[in-house]
Amino acid sequence: MFPSPAQPLYAFRENCFLICSSGESITRSRRVDFRARYNCRYVNRFIMSSKTVLFSVMIFILNSARGQKSSQNALMECPSLDKGDSYTQSEFLSRLAHECRYDRLLLPTYQTGEVVYVHASAYVYFIQPAEAHDLNFKLHFLLQLRWTDARLAYTLYSPERTKIIGESDLRQRIWVPHLYMSNEQSSSLMGTDSKDVLISIAPDGEVLFSRRMQAVLYCWMNLQKFPFDDQKCSMNLESWKYNASILRLMWEKENPVRLSSELHLTEYSLLDFWTNESVVRGDIVNMRLGAGNYSALKFTFKLGREVGYYLMDYFIPSMMIVAMSWVTFWLQADASAPRITLGTSTMLSFITLASSQAKTLPKVSYIKASEIWFLGCIGFIFSALVEFAFVNTIWRRKKVVSLKKVNSKYILKSTLTPRLARKELQKELRESSPQLSKSRSCSSLQQETSSDPAGPGYNNYLTVHSFPSALNLPTITTQSYDDLIASGGRQPRNNGSEGSDEPPQHHTWTQMTPQEIATWIDKRSRLLFPLLFIFFNIVYWTFVYCL
């Protein structure tokens, strides 16, 4: 049924058409059966599908040829810049920055290989130093970059056009240096409806790129003299993509950084600011694209902390709390309840005050000036509590103390002498001075004697004994008891002659009650503690302001 090599395809198709269309077994040879009709139908379908495939291939080839031709035409056709003054700014910019003559991914000097110099300037109108524990500050500023791109020069094409100004859409068409802040915590472009970006192109190709930004930058503070410290914080700008041999950052020669006249700080005062240029080493460690030196700019400002807040809220209240702890020296030594209550309340009040202030500081390993003040004040408050425990212990003693003289040296020695040594000394005094005479003197407290044990003048008297000069009595010293007994056998020299009529010299010994000693210590503490605190203040404030 299939055509023979000598039979043309159209003749074979004609026979098949007659067989398939008539529905009868009528052919030229009149010998076609059912199988012949089926084979004809199969061949018909094969021929139709082949034509469809061939037609699709031809359409694809034609479309490809048209696409290549249109691409070649687009590359060959570059919009003209002649009569540039007749175009609008958008039309002229689209022609000037067309891809046929401008590639925004390449440096302005990619053909000559020269260094691109980018000049920077900043206008700062807001500085917000954060709390000390955050170690950062917030900055609002206007950053302006200036460079020259000869590919954008249009003096010859549009001489009457003075400047091309655009915003974010223009920024997407031209080359812009990629800078970043190395000490940045977070940053963003500012703006309401759109980002505050402004670009202007001069006729000679000078590009001026301005953007308004807000940034939170790290500031590694030194808090050793807190709150009397001065901090130096900086903004670091570095080139991200190109090293110093390709792109160089420079500050403007005149007024590189300007501050707003309305700039005001609360906790700090701006003492000084300056700029400098440097290069940083780039390698695989800081994930640079290539090794080399990268250009960098730094703007540093010095901030001095205002101490008025800390004086009013921390130092003056702490002074008052320390002075309040001295009120216990005017209370009687056996008044345990009020003295303990006053001492512990002042201690807890000062700890609460200091802890609220310490919450604003980071946890650092070195000691700060505020902590020195805290330790000094807490030491004075604690010493007042220890003084109360000391005088209260002395007050509860029952036996009097013998003193050679009524002064600090002998009173403290007699108070600190162990009880056994005092008993042995009194026994030796009684055995070695049988002719000891006792006389009563005026009270050292200038109070009337009362028979009532609860009265204020009870036992407030001094007992004075007169000893012959021949007797050598031991004195109260810090030596051991054996040394004291060994020195007691020595007799003093008698300077007077035996036949002299002058009366012999007498040694005077005084006895004080424990209540008198406790009151005497309280009186001295009333003067000693304020003087020591004043001396501590002199040393402290000299350290924080002069060192």
CA 276 from chain center: how many Å? 23
| pLDDT value, residue 362 | 83
In one-letter notation, the amino acid at residue 89 is: Q
Task: Kindly report, residue by residue over 16-45, the tens digit of the pLDDT.
Answer: 444 444 444 444 444 445 444 545 555 456
The answer, yes or no, to whether residue 175 has pLDDT greater than 60, is yes
Task: Kindly report, residue by residue over 528-537, the tens digit of the pLDDT.
Answer: 999 999 999 9
For residue 491, give the DSSP letter: P
- The full length of the chain comes to 547
**Residue 275 · residue 251 · CB < 8 Å:** yes
Q: Where are the beta strands (DSSP E) in 28-115?
A: none
For residue 236, what are the β-bridge partners?
A: 298
Tell me which residue of 336, 466, 433, 315 sits closest to 389, measured CA to CA. 336
C-alpha distance from residue 52 to each of 44, 45, 46, 56, 96 (Å): 13, 11, 10, 6, 48
| Average pLDDT over every residue of 309-338 | 93
Question: Which pair of structure tokens corresponds to residue 36?
Answer: 């012949």
The answer, yes or no, to whether residue 180 has pLDDT greater than 70, is yes
In one-letter notation, the amino acid at residue 546 is: C
Residue 423's pLDDT band, with cuts at 50, 70 and 90, is low
| pLDDT value, residue 541 | 94
Q: Could you tell me which residue, 247 or 7, shows the higher pLDDT?
A: 247
Out of 21-30, 94-103, 227-236, 354-363, least confident range? 21-30
Task: Kindly report, residue by residue over 184-203, the tens digit of the pLDDT.
Answer: 989 888 887 778 899 999 99
For residue 218, what are the β-bridge partners?
A: 136
The answer, yes or no, to whether residue 131 has pLDDT greater than 50, is yes
| pLDDT value, residue 484 | 44
| pLDDT value, residue 489 | 44
Give the SS3 label for residue 447: coil
For residue 313, give the DSSP letter: I
The answer, yes or no, to whether residue 444 has pLDDT greater than 80, is no
d(CA 205, CA 150): 5
Out of 9-13, 89-93, 117-121, least confident range? 9-13
Q: Could you tell me which residue, 526 or 423, shows the higher pLDDT?
A: 526
| Average pLDDT over every residue of 330-349 | 92
CA 228 from chain center: how many Å? 15
| Average pLDDT over every residue of 478-496 | 47
| pLDDT value, residue 427 | 60
Helix (H) or strand (E) holding 203: none
Q: Could you tell me which residue, 257 or 50, shows the higher pLDDT?
A: 257
State the chain's mean pLDDT as an integer: 77
Out of 10-19, 57-66, 313-322, least confident range? 10-19
| pLDDT value, residue 169 | 87
**Residue 129 · residue 265 · CB < 8 Å:** yes
d(CA 341, CA 324): 12
Tell me which residue of 93, 115, 117, 114 sits closest to 104, measured CA to CA. 93
Query: Can you tell me which residue has the tokens 């460690």?
Result: 285
C-alpha distance from residue 532 to each of 232, 248, 529 (Å): 36, 61, 5
Out of 59-68, 139-148, 211-220, 509-518, least confident range? 59-68
**Residue 153 · residue 81 · CB < 8 Å:** no
Tell me which residue of 310, 388, 384, 387 sits closest to 347, measured CA to CA. 384
Alpha-carbon Rg for the chain, nearest whole angstrom, is 52
The pTM is what? 0.64
The answer, yes or no, to whether residue 542 has pLDDT greater than 90, is yes
| Average pLDDT over every residue of 460-475 | 44
**Residue 213 · residue 179 · CB < 8 Å:** no
What share of the chain has pLDDT > 70, as a percent? 66
| pLDDT value, residue 189 | 86
Give the SS3 label for residue 449: coil
Dump the DSSP string for 141-156: EEEEEEEE-GGG--TT
Tell me which residue of 252, 293, 301 sits closest to 274, measured CA to CA. 301
d(CA 354, CA 373): 10
Out of 109-113, 168-172, 434-438, least confident range? 434-438
| Average pLDDT over every residue of 505-515 | 70
